[in-house]
Amino acid sequence: MTIRHFPHTLAGKLLEDGIPMSYRDELLSLLMEKSFQKGEFTLASGMKSDYYINGKLTTLNSRGAYLAARIFLAMIGDDVPDAVGGLTIGADPIIGSMLALAGMEDLPLKGFIVRKAAKEHGTQSLVEGDLSEGDRVVVIEDVITTGGSSLKAIEAVKSLGCEVTRVLVIVDRQQGAQENLKKNGYRLESIFSIEELLRLG
């Protein structure tokens, strides 16, 4: 399959100069202001934690959504997939923002959302989106712990005949996701490690 490239300025300037530190620093500041909390929490993985990162409080903010999408598109660079998506609901606002930016550059990037369970009516789909067999896809997530949500999304799109090229996340909590994904043959890339947030928290 032909690999497409981002046209014009959407990723080009970012790739030439690297991801602007001002974008990265601003996104980190928003995460600390809106998403990072101290306390006693039980994570989706079942693990206990004395901090929690509610990524949606950042990605459902207009500036946060823009920054996350812009940085992810720069990370994708020249290896543009056919689609980006992930498990609802953490991936949803990021996907929408990435599609909007891609659309501004006339790039025909598709999106998909993986339900937590197949709907019981209509087409009874587990995956929403116009995916085709052979599509190359990137799985998106806001915060990753053990990688279970990403692996669920991966299995769902693989069942449709898609090829997963990598997993991109905003924050890696560094609690096994990297190893679990690598063991299954997938590459994880994150904008931030939890160490950066904990240093500020």
CA distance 86 to 34: 22
CA distances (Å), 57 to each of 30, 32, 41, 62, 94, in order?
9, 10, 17, 10, 12
Q: What is the pTM of this model?
A: 0.88
- The answer for residues whose C-beta is within 8 angstroms of residue 182's C-beta and 6 or more apart is 188
Q: Is the pLDDT of residue 21 over 80?
A: no
Residue 129 within a domain? yes
Residue 137 within a domain? yes
Q: Are 171 and 144 in contact (CB under 8 A)?
A: yes
Domain span at residue 145 reads: 12-200
Number of domains making up the chain? 1
Q: How do residues 65-104 score in pLDDT, each as one tens digit?
A: 999 999 999 999 889 999 999 999 999 999 999 999 999 9
Residue 131 within a domain? yes
**CATH number of the CATH domain containing 56:** 3.40.50.2020
Q: How do residues 89-148 score in pLDDT, each as one tens digit?
A: 999 999 999 999 999 988 889 999 999 886 655 556 899 999 999 999 999 999 999 999
Residue 109 within a domain? yes
pLDDT at 106: 86
pLDDT at 17: 44
Residue 5 within a domain? no
Residue 4 within a domain? no
